[in-house]
Amino acid sequence: MERVILHMDMDAFYAAVEQLDRPELSGKPVIVGGSTRRGVVSTASYEARAFGVRSAMPVFQAERLCPHGVFLPVRMERYKEISRKVMSVLEAFSPAVEQVSIDEAYVDLTGSGRLNGPREEAGKEIKRRIRERTSLTGSVGIAPNRFLAKVASDMDKPDGLTVIRPEEVSSVLRDLALRKVPGVGAKTAAALESEGLRTLGDVLGLQGRAGALGGRLLELARGIDETPVGQWAGAKSISSEETLPEDTGDPERLKAELLAQSELVGARARMKGLKGATVTLKLRRADFKLLTRSVSLAEPTSSTYVIYREGMRLLERELSGRRRYRLIGIGLSNLTRNRIEFVQLSLFENRDASETWDALERAVDEIRDRFGKGAITRARFL
């Protein structure tokens, strides 16, 4: 049966919530993220985007581009509160809802009885209810599958509603820039562009050679995405923790434990095809006081190396001579589905260190699967 999938993504979400709570900021360039200059931008209002400010940009760079911008810290609890309202609107609308990030969800409208009349009506109704409940706007895309619905919701932002009908799919895909394909990161897009591939149409034109690019991108180029809505409900974070055999303040001991934990978390994320944008260190002190420390990453990761590196930075800040700890753990949250990457290709010689780690870690996971957990142990443990 032909499916009808809706994707909804709130507009400039964190910044829009800040403008909602402080009406004097509406119409102003608002930049949320990194309360310190060393941080990165979480998001920027559309007014700030006009100056070139973007998510994941270092704060000092945003300050340079937009010196009169209003810079605000992240208030995650408040955004979660609004996010819950948005999701409850969607859940009231259809039983098949899958939230994929704080401000984004898919709704399967197939056979929901909501399609009497044009598809636009369902989209309009959802947008209207979200606005009524939260006073915020979101953009909606409606298409025959998830991938296309997400592409559609991005085509007209903010406050847009875009429908891609089955007969329009091939022409939309032909001209779709690879950097607009969900899952293709900026680095991958640049690598593909340097190979002369700019659009999904170009990928399709590769014919035989395209096989080497990995099946997923080729499928998308053909407009195929069978992923059901709801498949991935539940996975909010991946974490691992361990109570130590005895309380310790020995940095080497804690670091070794952190590496082992990072490896478990990374392997589980890679197995599930997920990446996380937040790394959280958990420590329980000998006096049972619990500490959690988090860091947001510019790019989601499933890399043991990156998880460990970020965990170490957090750990080093906490370690002081005399403190002893009874538990250490590390978690990955803010999960998204794996990005499409082609690091296995000899086509791209200029891999950077973290990509090489990715490829290495995938190889390690494979060997473990085949020969058991003990087959490979990191040199660190020896």
**In the set 4, 5, 8, 10, which binds Mg ion (CB under 5 A)?**
10
Distance CA 299, CA 179 (A): 15
CB of 10 to Mg ion, least distance (A): 5
Identify the residue among 3, 7, 14, 259 touching ligand TTP (CB under 6 A).
14
Number of residues that bind ligand TTP (CB under 6 A): 16
User: Which of 47, 98, 104, 355 is the catalytic position?
Assistant: 104
Q: Name residues contacting ligand TTP, limited to 327-366 (CB under 6 A).
A: none
- Residue of 5, 8, 10, 90 interacting with ligand TTP (CB under 6 A): 10
Restricting to residues 75-104, which ones interact with ligand TTP according to CB under 6 A? 102-104
Q: Which one of 42, 99, 188, 301 is in contact with ligand TTP (CB under 6 A)?
A: 42
Q: How far apart are CA 118 and CA 127, in angstroms?
A: 15
The alpha carbon dihedral of 259, 344, 372, 301 has a sign of: positive
Assess contact for 101 and 334: CB atoms under 8 A.
yes
* Interface region with ligand TTP, contact rule CB under 6 A, candidates 3-11, 92-100, 208-216, 355-363: 3-11
Q: Which is nearer to ligand TTP, 186 or 363 (CB)?
A: 186
Is 18 near Mg ion (CB under 5 A)?
no
Rounded alpha-carbon distances, angstroms, from residue 142 to 94, 96, 134: 14, 15, 22
Of 147, 106, 152, the C-alpha closest to 126 is 106
Nearest distance from C-beta of residue 177 to ligand TTP, angstroms = 16
Contact at 8 Å (CB) between 112 and 5? no
| Dihedral angle sign, alpha carbons of residues 158, 161, 166, 170 | negative
User: How many whole angstroms separate alpha carbon 103 and alpha carbon 200?
Assistant: 27
Binding flag, residue 13, ligand TTP (CB under 6 A): yes
Sign of the alpha-carbon dihedral angle for 295, 298, 303, 306: negative
157 binds, among ligand TTP, Mg ion, none (CB under 5 to 8 A by kind): ligand TTP
The distance of closest approach from Cβ of residue 137 to ligand TTP in the complex, given in angstroms and rounded to an integer, is: 9
By CB under 6 A, name the one of 6, 12, 130, 164 that touches ligand TTP: 12
Of the candidate residues 158, 183, 201, 249, the single one contacting ligand TTP (CB under 6 A): 158
Is 104 designated active site?
A: yes
Strand pairing of 161-163 and 138-143?
A: parallel
CB of 139 to Mg ion, least distance (A): 8
Q: What is the CA radius of gyration of the chain?
A: 22
User: Residue count at the site for Mg ion (CB under 5 A)?
Assistant: 4
145 vs 154: CA distance, rounded Å = 15
- Measured CA to CA in angstroms, residue 319 lies from 36, 195, 330, 382 at distances of 21, 47, 16, 24
**Calpha distance 293→311 (Å, rounded):** 9
Which one of Mg ion, ligand TTP, none is in contact with 47 (Cβ closer than 5 to 8 A by kind)? Answer: none
Q: Is 43 or 261 the residue whose CB approaches Mg ion more closely?
A: 43
* Two tokens, residue 20: 């909602």
Residue 196 identity: G
Query: Given the complex with Mg ion, which of 46 and 51 has the nearer CB atom?
Result: 46
Residue 8 tokens read as 């909804």
Using CB under 6 A, pick the residue from 25, 56, 210, 360 that binds ligand TTP: 56
d(CA 49, CA 29): 8
The reply to whether 301 sits near ligand TTP by the rule CB under 6 A is no
Nearer residue to ligand TTP within complex by CB, 199 or 334 = 334
> Which of 98, 103, 108, 225 lies at the binding interface for Mg ion (CB under 5 A)?
103
Residue 87 to residue 104: CA distance in whole angstroms: 9
**Residues at the site binding Mg ion, with contacts judged by CB under 5 A:** 9-10, 13, 103
**Residues at the site binding ligand TTP, with contacts judged by CB under 6 A:** 9-14, 42-43, 55-56, 102-104, 157-158, 296
User: Could you list the active site residues?
Assistant: 104
